Structure 1
Amino acid sequence: MAEPAATTVRSGCPGATHIFLVHGICHGGWCWYKVAARLRRLQPLAASRVVAPDLAASGIDDRRLREVPTFRDYTAPLLDALRSLPDGERAIVVGHSLGGLSVALAAEEFPDKVAAAVFLCAYMPDCMSPPGHVVLQGANRESQMDNEMKPQDGDGKLPASFMFGPQFTKQNVYQLCSKEDITLAKSLMRIGSVFLEDLQIMKPLSMHRYGSVRKVYIVCKQDRTLQEEFQRWMVSNNPVDEVKEIDCADHMAMLSAPDDIVQCIVDIVAKYS
């Protein structure tokens, strides 16, 4: 299983490139277990460290959603891990789904430590609009079916919450995954938040920081949650250095097509680190 977030990252290898795998809403580092295990076995990546952190109030992080009022609070474990990288060491940071916004924030905060920001069928903001804009565009394109959503509390202290419904999960998120992975997800998913209220009032990410980081978008063509058309719309609004495609991957590509994801990451490490 994926390891929990670490506030300090040490490799002992000057110039090493780390690989951070960032989960999406309602998930945790556990969803990367197939990809993380495969990457750790690859000899060309022996000098790298593969980290799949749990963001705040996710996975085995013991905080509850009410203790995580802002998107920055939610992303703090990733930001702390990047902050702790020794001088001269950088990371390939891969974000899935909502994790794309965490990767974007990390690139804004630490552009010198992010060798490449990788968006795996993920939300990718541009430098013109608040990060919440891309979330709103995505929400307008998808059916919510039996997903559960609760509005922000009256005092604004608890963010609006979200949980995937069983039917939406099976039909639109994990439709190409094994029954075992669906069972795993149902047992480990936690209530999360899109933090839309907070993301809408954030300033656009800057061109000289986030905009300067090299970016790769991995399009998953069988994704029914963030459909291919929307993924390509984001790329057209915020051109990237490279677009990769995976034909037979649903939204949970790290589970339905782990070998393809590993190959993409290996190629990216070789090219951008």
Structure 2
Amino acid sequence: MDAKGCKHIILVHGSCLGGWYWFKVATPLRAAGYRVDTPDLAASGVDPRPLQDVPTFRDYTAPLLDLLAALPAGERVILVGHSFGGMNIALAIEMFPEKVAAAVFLCAFMPDCTTRPSYVLQKFQEGNRQDWMAYSEMEPQDAEAKLSTSSMLFGTKLAREKFFQMCSPEDLTLAISLMRVSSLFLEDQQVQQPYTQERYGAVRKVYVVCTEDYAIVEEFQRWMVENNPVDEVKEIAADHMVMLSRPGELVQCLQDIAEKYA
């Protein structure tokens, strides 16, 4: 709740895109009386920095961390991370657990409290590398040796068939036109210590499984829940870009979570 008594929801985007893609969700939530923020992470969306100027995962997450740091004392938010955004909200929770009423992992990577943050990313790569590498458009963006080896840019074929298969052609066209080079910051997260049970582990968590997700498939989403049990699991029959393909169902889901946990 913020100082005016409004429930506050922060929506965090995934790799290569930006806060813009929440527009079909943020608009009705605001109309329903919620305060909604959709920050662009560093070198994402309209943030002017190139990825070369964002050397660490914490630097990449800084806009979200700054937003939480600026909240008035006592204000607590519903923090929603989509896709790789789950990694960003995990760091934010570890740093500001007192400011998070509940964390929502929306078909998102979700680390645990026993392994390094990179663990879930490495497990994902082990099971999906050959499948994803078949999409030759998704390649490391390191031609000048200035970027992390885990930098990437999603190609049109991968986006259409694995991420946006239930979205409209217009939404896919918009997303392709706005994509930017991003990174998993894998090397950086491999040297970070596990998040603590006392901070990250103490915040209530909801995992929203998207059952038609071909990017982070349902089986892997449910494995992450088994690996790091949460307070509640919800389901939406949607692709990876649920906020574009099934916005109404996602809005209702987030309203239910906000009313229960905020």
Q: How would you bin the TM-score normalised by the shorter chain? A: over 0.9
Partner of 1:217: 207
Q: Is the 8 A contact 1:16 1:90 kept in 2?
A: no
5+ residue gaps, structure 2 = none
Contact persistence 1:116–1:272 (CA under 8 A): yes
Q: Which of residues 49, 52, 69 is equivalent to 2:38?
A: 52
1:158, CA displacement in angstroms?
A: 3.2
SS in 1 for 2:39: coil
Quote the offset at 1:88 in angstroms: 1.5
Which runs of 5 or more structure 1 residues have no equivalent in the other structure? Answer: 1-9
Q: CA deviation at 1:139?
A: 1.6
The answer for the alignment partner of 2:256 in structure 1 is 267
1:103 equivalent to 2:89? Answer: yes
Q: Distance in 2 between matches of 1:20 and 1:11?
A: 12
The alignment status of 1:204 with 2:190, answered yes or no, reads no
Aligned to 1:149: 140
Quick check: 1:117–1:213 contact (8 Å CA) kept in 2? yes
Please state how far the C-alpha of 1:11 moved relative to its aligned partner. 5.3
Of 145-154 and 209-218, the range deviating more from structure 2: 145-154
Q: State how far apart, in whole Å, the 2-side matches of 1:77 and 1:261 are.
A: 24
Q: 2:183 aligns with which of 183, 193, 209?
A: 193
Q: 3-state SS of the aligned residue for 1:123?
A: coil
Matched, 1:78 2:67: no
Q: Are the counterparts in 1 of residues 57 and 188 from structure 2 also a CA contact under 8 Å?
A: yes
* Kept after mapping to 2: 8 A contact 1:152/1:159: no
Q: Structure 2 CA distance, aligned partners of 1:39 and 1:236?
A: 30
Say if 1:56 and 1:63, in contact at 8 Å, map to a contact too: yes
What one-letter code is carried by the residue in structure 1 that aligns with 2:118? G
* Secondary structure in 1 matching 2:97: coil
C-alpha distance after superposition, 1:179-223 (max 9, x if no partner)? 000010011110100100001111000000000000000000000
Distance in structure 2 (CA, Å) of the matches to 1:162 and 1:170: 16
- Cα separation, 2, equivalents of 1:34 and 1:126: 31
Equivalent residues in 2 for 1:25-174, closer than 5 Å? 25-42=15-32, 46=33, 48-142=34-128, 143-144=131-132, 145-146=135-136, 147-150=138-141, 158-160=147-149, 161-174=151-164
Relative to the length of structure 1, the TM-score reads 0.90
Kept after mapping to 1: 8 A contact 2:43/2:60: yes
CA contact (8 A) 2:141 2:153 kept: no
Task: Tell me how far apart the structure 2 counterparts of residues 17 and 77 of structure 1 sit (CA, whole Å).
Answer: 20
Pair 1:235 & 2:225 matched: yes
Q: Deviations over 1:146-183 (max 9, x none)?
A: 312146986xx732311101101000000000000001
Residues 110, 126 of structure 1: CA spacing in aligned structure 2 closer, same or farther, 3 A cutoff? Answer: same
Q: Distance in 2 between matches of 1:149 and 1:124?
A: 23
Identity over the aligned pairs, expressed in percent?
Answer: 57
Q: Give the Cα separation in 1 of the matches to 2:122 and 2:74.
A: 37
Q: How many residues align?
A: 256
Q: Distance in 1 between matches of 2:46 and 2:104?
A: 24
Candidates 253, 256, 263, aligned match of 2:245: 256
**What CA distance in whole angstroms lies between the structure 2 residues aligned with 1:234 and 1:258?**
24
Whole-Å separation in 2 of the counterparts to 1:174 and 1:58: 19
Q: Deviations over 1:53-111 (max 9, x none)?
A: 00000000000101100000000000000011101211101000000000101110000
Q: Please, which moves more after superposition, 157-166 or 181-190?
A: 157-166
Aligned AA (1:107) = I
Write the distance in 1 (CA, Å) between the matches of 2:40 and 2:123.
26
Matches of 1:32 and 1:217 in 2, distance apart? 18
Does the CA-based 8 Å contact 2:3-2:75 persist in structure 1?
Answer: no
The two structures, once aligned, show a CA RMSD in angstroms of: 1.6
Q: Residue deviations 1:25-61, cap 9 Å, x none?
A: 001001111001111111xxx2x31000000000000
**Deviation for aligned residue 1:225:** 0.5
